[in-house]
Amino acid sequence: MSPREPTSHRTKNSAVIPSEARDLYIWISGIFTGTKIHRFASGQGFPASPEMTIKDLFGRFVEDLPGERPTEYKNMPKNIAVVIGSFHHKEAEEMIDEVRDFAAKNDLKIVKETWVPGSMEKPLALKRALLDERVAGAVVLGIIERGETKHGLVMAQAVTSAIIGLQLDLMKPVGVGILGPEILPEQIPPRVRPYARNAVKALAEVLQ
């Protein structure tokens, strides 16, 4: 294949790679970052080494490459969703404000905000959000306060398990900022904003 005679290349997974060399470079750069292309290159029959970069692999086809990630992808906002419980509404507003503030300063774009009554409704809302093709990841916020029984503890375990399952099934990261379980009322105020910020910060780091 040469720049003068572009042809399409079909991978083993039947994904059609764009025929133009520059388009191919941009396409593959949108999936892989840094040097983590060894497995892909080897699997498609390209000569590759663990140290090989995208530029090494496609450099002979493309002139004046703009580095390992093309400028088209640099500093692009990453679309995220937020799912938040409304039972503790005042604290929830503080949490979502913290997420919005962090997102605005760190190239994250909130494209979907979903309010639900409580924690048990969060997994369904989260799944709907993650199935949106625009969404790269999500943040789940809320509070599971201590009650007279162990209901909150059981609920927290079920919700956490469901969230982890959705991450693995849909291959999209989720930052969890749920206070509790069994948190006491006096423990809530100083933790509201830090939990929310840590959740969206963790998501941002995974999406880099």
Any catalytic annotation for residue 38? no
DSSP-derived letter for residue 75 is T
Provide DSSP, 11-49.
Answer: -TT-PEEPSSHHHHHHHHHTT--TTTTHHHHHHTT----
SS3 192: helix
DSSP-derived letter for residue 2 is B
Q: How many angstroms separate the Cα of 154 from the Cα of each of 106, 123, 157, 186?
A: 35, 15, 5, 22
Q: How many angstroms separate the Cα of 201 from the Cα of each of 6, 102, 161, 191?
A: 42, 8, 21, 15
Give catalytic residue positions.
151
